[in-house]
C-alpha cells in the first residue's frame, strides 16, 4: 500500500523528521517499508516560467515562439505548439537536461524549423497529471518565477510502499498509519484538511427514505448499512487537489464521484460505493444473498454467475453490486448521472472473502472488508464521505444532499471497543526482560488504548474498535515489545539441559515425528557413496504430467498412474505429484543434451506421491532415482560408456550398508514398457514373494529416439522405504582361515536362455545334495562369458572360479577334482550343462 507524506500531514505533524528516519521507524514498528519514492525529486530543472512575449514562428504555422523568463535574468526562446496561453502566463518549463515524468526522452537545446528552442513548455499530462485542459498547464499567478515547479506547486512528496501484514487492517489508510506514527513519535493526531460545512447542502424537506427504500435481509452478512443521497450533481473531472492526492499514491482519476470515494478509502480506510440512483429499480436497496441463477455484470464488464452464498446489494429486481467486492455496470456512475446513492457499510469479513475468492476477485474494497474495517466508524465515515463528495463536487455547490438512511444491526460488543485484562508479569515472562509498569502503560496509551489498573498488578485495557487484532493479553505484549523496540530485548541461550530424550505424551497416541540420527546418517552415507561414484545430485520439483507418463508408455493399470492430483496447478503439465523420479531425471537429460552436455550421471533422493485412495496407506514413498548416459569415464587412455552393469554396480554399492544378502536380480515378472525389452531387471529383497527393491534398465530405444537424446540411457529407481525395512547389515567376525584354499576354474556350456542367476542358484542348491561340497565351497565367482565359434550355436559358456577350503587341513587338487566332477554331473542333470 502506498502512503504519501503530504497526505499524512493532514493527520499528524511530521516536521523535522527525514523520510529515511520515518521509513526506518515504520519498518522497525512492523510496518515494513518496501520502497520509498521521491515524487518530484530530481526534477529541479523543471521550473516555473513566465511567458514574456509570444511571436509567430517564421517557418511554421502551427508553432509559436515564446520568450520565457525562467528566473535566470535572460529570456529563453522556446518553440511551442499550444495555443491556450497568453503573454504573462506562468507555465511549467522544462529546461534542457530535464525529463518531464511522463516523457521518455530528455529535453535538449535544439532547432525547430530553423529557430532555436531552449526547453519545453509543459502540459499537465506531460508532467503526469490528468487534465481536461487542452494545452499548457497555466499555473497560479502567485508562484515565484524560476522556482522548481514541483516544490512551488506543493507536489513534492515522499511516498512509502508499505508491505502490511494481514493483522494490521487498521493501517490500510493514511489515518491508520498516522495513528502508529503518533504512537512511535509520541506526537498527537490532528485534522488539518479543511472540513466543509455542508449543512447548507441539506434540503430539510427531503429525507433519504423518500429517495430510496432500504431492507437488510441478511444482518449477519451486513450488520451496518448507511447511505446518503445526492441530487442535481454534475459528473466531471475532479478538482486538482483531489487528482493530486490520488496521483501521489498511484490511483487513476476517474471522475469527481469515484475519486471522492477512493479518497475516503485511502484516507480513513472506509470503502464506499456510489450507485446511479436513477438506475436503481424501485428505487430500493436490498441487502441479501444472491438467488439461484442470478448473475451480474461487474464494472469490469465481466459477467459473474452468483452463488446463493454471495451477499449482494440488489434493487427491487436484481443484484446491482457484489457486496463489498465490486459494483455492477448497470448502476455505475456515468457522465449522465444526476442523482447518486452513496453506500457506507460494514460487511462480514468471512462472507466477503469467500465471495471474492469464489469469483477470483480482489479489489481495494474487498481487501479491506476481508481484513475487517472499523465497525464503529460507519457514522463518522459517512459524514466524512459526504464532506469529501461535496468538496469534490465544488462546481455545483448548490447540489442538495439528502441524508440519511441507515440500518444499524450493531455487531455485538464491538461498537465501542472491548476490554482486555493484561496480567502484570506477562510481558516480562514472555520477553525475558524486565518491562517496567511505566513502559507498559505509556506504550499502550500512546496507541490510544485506555489503561487502568486491574487485579493482581495487572491492567484493564480498553481497546478501540478499529484494533481488531488486539483481543488477548499476548497481543498487548506484542504491542509493547513492538513499540518499545525488539532491540531492547537481551539475548540469552535457553538455560537448560538440551539433547535429552523426547518423551511420548501419555495422554494421547499420535505418530512419532522424530527421525533418528542413525537414520539420517545412513541416508547421508548413501549420498556420499553416489557422489564418490561420480554421480551429481539433482533436485527436481515434484510435479508430473500425463504426457510424461504417456511418453514412458506407462500402462493404464500401472501403479504409476495412481497419482495424487492437484486441484489448482500452476501449469497444465504440473497437475500431478510425481509417482516416479524418472520423469524429472529425463527432463534433466533432455535439458542438458540441449546444452550439448553429453555425459550425464545424476541421482535424486525424494518423495514419490500416490493417490491416498489406493488404500495401502503408503502415499509418500522415499525413492532414489538414477540416470546414467554417455561416458562413464573420459580419459586420454580411453573412454568408456556407462552400461547396464555399471548401473547395477551403482545400486549395489550404494546399498552396501544394508542387510541385502538374500536380495536377487531377476528379469521382471511383467515387462517394464519404458525399458529396453532385453535390458531390464528387478532387484528383489528375497526370493519368492519378495518386495521390489529397485527396477533398473536401459531406456527403450524408441523412447530414446522420441526424446532425441541419442545413445543408451540407463535408469533405475530404488524404493528407499523397502530398503530401510531390510535393516542395516551387521558385521560379525568369523575368524581368519588357517589353511590354504584350492581354486578351480570351471567353464560350463549351457543353453543361451539359461541365465547366470539360474546356474548360480543351481550351484547353491547342490550344497543341499552334497555335504562335502557344502563344507568345502567357500566362494564362486563368474569370470568369463563366451558366445561364439568355440561353443555350439544356441549355447554359451559361463566360466566360474570356485574357491574350496577346509577348516582343518590343507586340501589337495585330487580331493577337490572329485567334488568338481560331482558338481558338473549335477548341473548336467539339472541344466543340461557340460564342461567346455
Partner 1 sequence: MDVQEFQSRLESLEADAVDRLAEAETEDEIIKVKNAFLGRNGEVQELMGILRELPDEDKPVAGRAANGCKEAIQEAYEDRLEALEAEQLRRQIAEEAVDVTLPARRPDPASPHPVTRTMRELTDVFVDMGFGVADGPEVEEDFYNFEALNFPKDHPARDMQDTFKMVDGRVLRTHTTPLQVRSLLAYEPPVRLVAPGRVYRCDSDLTHSPVFHQVDGFLVDHDITFSDLKGTLNHFADEVFGEETPVRFRPSFFPFTEPSAEVDIGCIFCEGAGCRVCGDTGWLEILGAGMVDPNVFESVGVDPEVYSGFAFGMGVERVAMLKYGIDDIRLLYDNDVRFLRQF
Contacts to partner 1 from residues 205-264, by CB under 8 A: none
Q: Is the previous residue joined to 404 through a cis bond, with omega within 30 degrees of 0?
A: yes
Tell me the closest approach of the beta carbon of residue 509 to partner 1, in angstroms: 9
- Interface with partner 1 includes 818 (CB under 8 A)? no
- Interface with partner 1 includes 545 (CB under 8 A)? no
Q: Counting beta carbons within 10 angstroms of the beta carbon of residue 645, is it exposed (0 to 12), middle (13 to 18) or buried (19 or more)?
A: exposed
Sign of CA dihedral 471, 475, 477, 481: negative
| Residue located via cell numbers 480498553 | 462
Please give the residues from 80 up to 139 whose contact with partner 1 meets the rule CB under 8 A: none
Piece of the chain touching partner 1 by CB under 8 A; list 123-131, 437-445, 604-612, 730-738: 604-612
Number of C-beta neighbours around residue 623 at 10 A: 23
- Interface with partner 1 includes 32 (CB under 8 A)? yes
Q: Nearer Cβ to partner 1, position 244 or 608?
A: 608
Tell me the closest approach of the beta carbon of residue 124 to partner 1, in angstroms: 32
- Interface with partner 1 includes 730 (CB under 8 A)? no
**Coil vs helix vs strand at 114:** coil
**CB 417 within 8 Å of CB 464:** yes
Piece of the chain touching partner 1 by CB under 8 A; list 8-16, 238-246, 528-536, 689-697: 528-536
Single out the residue of 524, 757, 765, 810 in contact with partner 1 (rule: CB under 8 A).
524
- Interface with partner 1 includes 816 (CB under 8 A)? no
Q: Nearer Cβ to partner 1, position 97 or 569?
A: 569
Piece of the chain touching partner 1 by CB under 8 A; list 62-70, 254-262, 277-285, 535-543: 535-543
Compute CA 553 distance to the chain's CA centroid, rounded to the nearest angstrom. 34
Tell me the closest approach of the beta carbon of residue 475 to partner 1, in angstroms: 6
Q: Nearer Cβ to partner 1, position 125 or 599?
A: 599
Where does residue 50 fall: left (phi above 0), alpha (psi -120 to 50 degrees), or beta otherwise? beta
Tell me the closest approach of the beta carbon of residue 456 to partner 1, in angstroms: 14
Single out the residue of 482, 698, 700, 796 in contact with partner 1 (rule: CB under 8 A).
482
Tell me the closest approach of the beta carbon of residue 719 to partner 1, in angstroms: 17
Number of C-beta neighbours around residue 196 at 10 A: 16
Tell me the closest approach of the beta carbon of residue 163 to partner 1, in angstroms: 10
How many chain residues are in contact with partner 1, going by CB under 8 A? 100
Number of C-beta neighbours around residue 449 at 10 A: 22
Tell me the closest approach of the beta carbon of residue 401 to partner 1, in angstroms: 35
Sequence length of the chain is: 836
Q: Nearer Cβ to partner 1, position 634 or 779?
A: 634
Tell me the closest approach of the beta carbon of residue 650 to partner 1, in angstroms: 11
How far, in Å, are 212, 275, 586, 808 from residue 203 at the CA level?
Answer: 16, 20, 77, 123
- Interface with partner 1 includes 522 (CB under 8 A)? no
- Interface with partner 1 includes 29 (CB under 8 A)? yes
Q: Nearer Cβ to partner 1, position 497 or 734?
A: 497
- Interface with partner 1 includes 308 (CB under 8 A)? no
- Interface with partner 1 includes 618 (CB under 8 A)? no
**Coil vs helix vs strand at 470:** coil
- Interface with partner 1 includes 541 (CB under 8 A)? yes
- Give buried/exposed letters for 778-811 (b at 16+ CB in 10 A, else e): eeeeeeeeeeeeebeeebbbbebebebbbeeeeb
| Residues 6+ positions from 625 with CB-CB distance below 8 Å | 580, 581, 582, 584, 585, 603, 604, 605, 606, 715, 716, 717, 718
Shortest CA distance to 819 belongs to which of 757, 748, 763?
Answer: 763
- Interface with partner 1 includes 628 (CB under 8 A)? no
- Interface with partner 1 includes 429 (CB under 8 A)? yes
Tell me the closest approach of the beta carbon of residue 516 to partner 1, in angstroms: 8
Which DSSP helix (H) or strand (E) runs through 834? Answer: strand 834-835
Single out the residue of 371, 446, 467, 700 in contact with partner 1 (rule: CB under 8 A).
371
- What is the C-alpha to C-alpha distance for residues 74 and 42, in angstroms, rounded to an integer? 24
- Interface with partner 1 includes 490 (CB under 8 A)? yes
Compute CA 584 distance to the chain's CA centroid, rounded to the nearest angstrom. 22
Tell me the closest approach of the beta carbon of residue 508 to partner 1, in angstroms: 6
Q: Where are the alpha helices (DSSP H) in 236-312?
A: 240-248, 256-268
- What is the C-alpha to C-alpha distance for residues 515 and 519, in angstroms, rounded to an integer? 7
- What is the C-alpha to C-alpha distance for residues 784 and 836, in angstroms, rounded to an integer? 12
Piece of the chain touching partner 1 by CB under 8 A; list 232-240, 254-262, 515-523, 775-783: 515-523
- Give buried/exposed letters for 686-716 (b at 16+ CB in 10 A, else e): eeeebeebbbbbbbbeebbeebebeebbbbb
Sign of CA dihedral 96, 97, 101, 103: positive
Single out the residue of 58, 97, 250, 432 in contact with partner 1 (rule: CB under 8 A).
432
Tell me the closest approach of the beta carbon of residue 513 to partner 1, in angstroms: 4
Q: Nearer Cβ to partner 1, position 113 or 531?
A: 531
- Interface with partner 1 includes 43 (CB under 8 A)? no
Which DSSP helix (H) or strand (E) runs through 774? Answer: helix 771-776
Q: Nearer Cβ to partner 1, position 371 or 676?
A: 371
Q: Nearer Cβ to partner 1, position 128 or 424?
A: 424
Please give the residues from 322 up to 351 whose contact with partner 1 meets the rule CB under 8 A: 349-350
Single out the residue of 62, 132, 493, 792 in contact with partner 1 (rule: CB under 8 A).
493
| Residue located via cell numbers 518565477 | 145
Phi/psi for 125 (5° steps) reads: -55, -45
Q: Where are the alpha helices (DSSP H) in 9-135?
A: 19-28
Piece of the chain touching partner 1 by CB under 8 A; list 84-92, 313-321, 603-611, 664-672: 603-611
Quick note: the x/- pattern for partner 1 over 547-586, rule CB under 8 A, is -----------------xxxxxxx---x--x---------
Tell me the closest approach of the beta carbon of residue 691 to partner 1, in angstroms: 21
Shortest CA distance to 308 belongs to which of 326, 281, 288?
Answer: 288
- What is the C-alpha to C-alpha distance for residues 752 and 754, in angstroms, rounded to an integer? 5
Tell me the closest approach of the beta carbon of residue 346 to partner 1, in angstroms: 16
Tell me the closest approach of the beta carbon of residue 526 to partner 1, in angstroms: 12
Please give the residues from 583 up to 602 whose contact with partner 1 meets the rule CB under 8 A: 588, 591-592, 595, 597, 599-602
Single out the residue of 415, 537, 728, 764 in contact with partner 1 (rule: CB under 8 A).
537
Single out the residue of 8, 22, 30, 463 in contact with partner 1 (rule: CB under 8 A).
30
Please give the residues from 733 up to 772 whose contact with partner 1 meets the rule CB under 8 A: none
Please give the residues from 794 up to 813 whose contact with partner 1 meets the rule CB under 8 A: none
Q: Nearer Cβ to partner 1, position 349 or 417?
A: 349
Beta strands in 186-339 (DSSP E): 213-216, 224-230, 272-276, 284-289, 295-297, 303-305, 311-314, 319-322, 326-327
Amino acid at each position: 500500500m502506498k502512503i504519501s507524506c503530504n497526505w499524512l500531514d493532514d493527520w499528524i505533524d511530521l516536521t523535522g523528521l527525514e523520510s529515511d528516519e520515518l521509513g526506518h521507524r515504520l519498518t522497525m514498528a512492523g510496518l515494513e517499508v518496501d520502497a520509498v519514492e521521491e515524487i518530484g525529486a530530481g526534477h529541479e530543472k523543471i521550473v516555473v516560467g513566465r511567458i514574456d512575449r509570444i511571436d509567430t514562428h517564421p517557418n511554421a504555422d502551427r508553432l509559436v515562439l515564446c520568450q520565457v523568463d525562467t528566473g535566470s535574468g535572460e529570456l529563453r526562446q522556446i518553440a511551442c505548439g499550444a495555443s491556450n496561453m497568453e503573454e504573462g502566463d506562468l507555465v511549467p518549463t522544462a529546461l534542457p537536461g530535464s525529463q518531464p515524468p511522463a516523457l521518455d526522452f530528455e529535453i535538449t537545446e535544439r532547432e525547430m524549423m530553423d529557430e532555436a528552442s531552449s526547453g519545453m513548455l509543459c502540459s499537465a499530462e506531460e508532467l503526469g497529471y490528468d487534465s481536461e485542459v487542452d494545452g499548457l498547464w497555466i499555473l497560479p499567478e502567485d508562484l515565484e518565477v524560476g522556482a522548481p515547479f514541483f516544490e512551488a506547486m506543493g507536489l513534492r512528496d515522499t511516498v512509502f510502499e508499505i508491505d502490511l501484514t494481514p493483522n494490521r487492517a487498521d493501517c490500510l489508510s493514511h489515518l491508520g498509519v498516522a495513528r502508529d506514527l503518533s504512537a512511535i513519535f509520541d506526537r498527537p493526531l490532528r485534522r488539518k484538511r479543511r472540513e466543509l460545512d455542508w449543512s447548507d447542502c441539506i434540503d430539510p424537506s427531503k429525507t433519504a427514505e423518500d429517495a430510496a427504500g432500504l431492507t437488510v435481509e441478511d444482518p449477519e452478512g451486513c450488520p451496518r448499512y448507511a447511505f446518503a443521497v445526492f441530487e442535481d450533481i454534475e459528473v466531471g473531472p475532479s478538482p486538482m487537489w483531489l487528482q493530486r492526492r490520488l496521483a501521489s499514491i498511484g490511483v487513476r482519476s476517474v471522475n469527481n464521484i469515484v475519486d471522492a470515494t477512493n479518497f475516503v478509502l485511502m484516507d480513513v480506510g472506509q470503502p464506499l460505493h456510489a450507485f446511479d440512483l436513477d438506475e436503481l429499480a424501485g428505487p430500493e436497496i436490498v441487502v441479501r444473498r444472491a438467488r439461484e441463477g442470478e448473475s451480474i455484470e461487474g464494472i469490469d464488464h465481466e459477467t459473474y454467475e452468483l452463488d446463493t452464498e454471495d451477499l449482494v446489494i440488489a434493487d427491487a429486481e436484481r443484484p446491482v453490486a457484489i457486496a463489498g467486492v465490486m459494483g455492477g455496470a448497470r448502476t455505475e456512475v456515468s457522465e449522465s448521472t444526476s442523482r447518486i446513492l452513496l453506500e457506507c457499510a460494514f460487511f462480514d469479513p468471512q462472507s466477503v472473502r469467500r465471495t471474492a475468492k469464489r469469483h477470483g476477485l480482489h479489489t481495494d474494497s474487498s481487501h479491506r472488508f476481508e481484513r475487517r474495517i472499523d465497525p464503529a466508524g460507519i457514522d463518522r465515515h459517512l459524514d466524512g464521505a459526504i464532506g469529501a463528495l461535496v468538496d469534490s463536487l465544488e462546481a455545483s455547490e448548490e447540489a442538495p444532499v439528502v441524508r440519511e438512511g441507515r440500518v444499524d444491526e450493531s455487531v455485538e460488543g464491538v461498537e465501542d471497543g472491548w476490554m482486555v485484562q493484561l496480567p502484570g508479569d506477562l510481558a516480562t515472562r514472555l520477553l525475558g526482560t524486565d518491562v517496567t509498569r511505566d513502559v507498559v502503560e505509556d506504550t499502550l496509551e500512546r496507541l490510544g488504548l485506555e489503561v487502568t489498573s486491574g487485579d493482581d498488578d495487572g491492567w484493564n485495557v480498553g481497546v478501540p474498535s478499529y484494533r481488531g487484532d488486539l483481543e488477548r493479553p499476548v497481543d498487548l505484549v506484542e504491542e509493547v515489545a513492538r513499540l518499545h523496540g525488539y532491540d531492547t530485548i537481551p539475548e540469552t541461550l535457553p538455560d537448560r539441559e538440551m539433547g535429552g530424550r523426547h518423551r511420548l505424551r501419555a495422554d494421547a497416541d499420535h505418530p512419532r515425528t522424530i527421525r533418528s540420527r542413525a537414520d539420517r546418517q545412513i541416508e547421508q552415507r548413501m549420498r556420499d557413496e553416489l557422489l564418490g561414484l561420480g554421480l551429481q545430485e539433482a533436485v527436481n520439483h515434484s510435479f508430473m504430467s500425463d504426457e510424461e507418463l504417456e511418453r514412458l508408455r506407462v500402462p493404464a493399470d500401472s501403479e504409476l498412474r495412481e497419482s495424487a492430483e492437484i486441484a489448482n496447478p500452476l501449469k497444465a503439465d504440473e497437475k500431478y505429484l510425481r509417482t516416479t523420479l524418472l520423469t524429472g531425471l529425463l527432463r534433466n537429460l533432455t535439458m542438458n543434451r540441449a546444452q550439448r552436455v553429453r555425459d550425464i550421471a545424476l541421482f535424486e533422493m525424494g518423495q514419490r506421491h500416490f493417490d491416498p485412495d489406493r488404500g495401502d496407506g503408503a502415499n509418500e514413498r522415499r525413492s532414489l532415482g538414477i540416470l546414467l548416459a554417455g561416458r562413464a569415464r573420459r580419459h586420454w587412455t580411453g573412454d568408456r560408456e556407462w552400461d547396464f552393469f555399471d548401473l547395477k554396480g551403482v545400486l549395489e554399492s550404494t546399498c552396501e550398508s544394508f542387510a541385502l544378502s538374500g536380495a536377487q536380480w531377476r528379469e521382471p515378472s511383467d515387462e517394464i514398457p519404458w525399458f529396453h525389452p532385453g535390458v531390464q531387471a528387478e532387484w528383489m529383497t528375497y526370493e519368492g514373494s519378495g518386495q521390489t527393491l529397485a527396477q533398473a534398465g536401459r531406456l527403450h530405444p524408441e523412447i530414446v529416439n522420441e526424446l532425441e537424446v541419442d545413445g543408451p540411457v540407463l535408469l533405475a529407481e530404488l524404493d528407499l522405504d523397502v530398503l530401510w525395512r531390510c535393516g542395516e547389515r551387521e558385521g560379525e567376525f568369523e575368524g581368519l582361515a588357517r589353511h590354504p584354499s584350492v581354486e578351480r576354474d570351471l567353464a560350463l556350456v549351457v543353453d543361451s536362455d539359461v541365465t547366470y542367476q539360474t546356474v548360480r542358484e543351481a550351484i547353491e542348491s547342490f550344497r543341499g545334495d552334497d555335504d562335502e561340497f557344502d563344507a568345502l565351497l567357500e566362494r564362486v565367482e563368474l569370470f568369463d562369458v563366451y558366445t561364439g565359434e568355440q561353443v555350439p550355436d544356441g549355447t554359451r559358456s559361463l566360466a566360474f572360479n570356485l574357491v574350496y577350503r577346509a577348516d582343518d587341513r590343507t586340501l589337495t587338487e585330487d580331493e577337490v577334482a572329485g567334488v568338481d566332477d560331482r558338481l558338473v554331473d549335477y548341473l548336467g542333470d539339472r541344466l543340461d550343462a557340460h564342461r567346455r
